[in-house]
Amino acid sequence: MELEDFKRSVTNFNNALNRIKSSKIDLDKQIKKDLSIYDYNEKKLDYQISTYKKYFSDLKSKAVALSSLVRYSNSNSNTILEINKLISEASAYFSSNELSKLSSAMNKIADLSLQIKAPPKKTQKIEKRLSMEITGIPLDIKQDVEADLDELDKCFKAGCLRSTVILCGRLLETALHRKYYETTGIDLLEKSPGIGLGKIIAKLSEKNVKLDPGLAQQIHLINNVRVFSVHKKQESFYPSKAQTQAIMLYTVDVLRKIFRK
């Protein structure tokens, strides 16, 4: 679903971009909102520019959602990372109205999207009791982890998808903090309270602790949901049910590997 949504958003934006280019619309020109109510040409211009901006915003949102696909193939991680880099470049060209460069970046993004491997059609079902599927949880955090897993399951079944993703972030934080403590004997919760997931991974990497290569992409997605949930933004990010389910399964898999004895 995420891949098809992204491909559709690429097509939609490319079509809007081509209309802007073929109509030779000056994006720096100020739209006369009062005239657009009565003047057909001004109204058409307003619609084309609004659609162009809307589709680019949608493209960026769908690009973030691609992170959930890294778990299906090792090659997806590099491809999605390259797409996100191009999206950043495209954002700069979009802001500066460099349409030729923007068009070139979009062509590369479209080509890369064809290289992403889609998930299998039949999605694995979430177990009724996720906590029962994870063994080796240290006793001092076992109660908290199992409580979070139970709440995770309830949130997903209730359709609270953003809350589900945020709980996945909390579970990963708990597991990574514990892994760092077991590796170094240092409690980051005391030494560096408020440290982000990305920085914990970096510190574990410095200690030569090998983690799943797709973990950084998952955390990027989780952090986006967190940011949009706690800060006022023009557009809120809402993960799909399939995407949330993939993040849950991935989180549980990471917990199994971290706590495995």
Task: Tell me which of 79, 113, 147 is where a domain ends.
Answer: 113
Confirm whether 124 is domain-assigned.
no
Instruction: Record the pTM.
Output: 0.49
* Same domain, yes or no: 248 and 136: yes
Q: Which of 48, 80, 113 is the last residue of a domain?
A: 113
Domain membership of residue 121 (yes or no) is: no
Residues in the chain: 261
Under 8 Å between Cβ of 106 and 17: yes
| Residue 135 sits in the same domain as residue 100 | no
Let me know if residue 150 belongs to a domain: yes
Residues 136 and 104 in one domain: no
95 and 150 assigned to the same domain:
no
Supply 160's token pair: 């609270």
pLDDT of residue 176: 87
User: What pLDDT shows up at residue 131?
Assistant: 47
Q: Identify whether residues 254 and 173 lie together within a single domain.
A: yes
pLDDT tens per residue, the chain (261 residues)?
788 889 999 999 999 999 999 988 888 766 555 544 455 566 777 778 888 999 999 999 888 888 888 777 778 888 998 999 999 999 999 999 999 999 999 999 999 999 998 877 654 555 555 544 677 888 888 888 888 988 988 898 899 988 888 898 889 888 888 888 888 888 887 777 778 777 888 888 888 887 777 777 777 777 766 655 444 444 556 778 888 888 888 888 888 888 875
Say if CB 223 and CB 101 are below 8 A apart. no
- Look at the chain and report how many structural domains it folds into: 2
Q: Which domain holds residue 55?
A: 2-113
Q: Are residues 109 and 134 in the same domain?
A: no
Residues 12 and 68 in one domain: yes
Q: Let me know the angle formed at the C-alpha of 200 by 209 and 127, rounded to the nearest 5 degrees.
A: 80
| pLDDT value, residue 36 | 47
Q: Which two tokens stand for residue 19?
A: 């209309």
* Residue 173 and residue 245 share a domain: yes
Q: Return all residues near 224 (Cβ < 8 A) that are at least 6 apart.
A: 64, 237
Residue 247 and residue 162 share a domain: yes
Q: Is the distance from CB of 62 to CB of 116 less than 8 angstroms?
A: no
Q: What was the pLDDT predicted at 231?
A: 45
Question: Of 85, 113, 141, which closes a domain?
Answer: 113
Res 7: pLDDT: 92
Within-domain flag for 122 = no
pLDDT at position 229: 45
Please tell me whether residues 182 and 149 are part of one structural domain: yes
The per-residue pLDDT for 230 is 45
Res 47: pLDDT: 78
Q: Do 47 and 164 lie in a common domain?
A: no
Do 228 and 163 have their domain in common? yes
- pLDDT at 130 (0 to 100): 54
Residues 113-137: b if buried by 16+ CB within 10 A, e if exposed: beebeebeeeeeebeeebbeebeeb
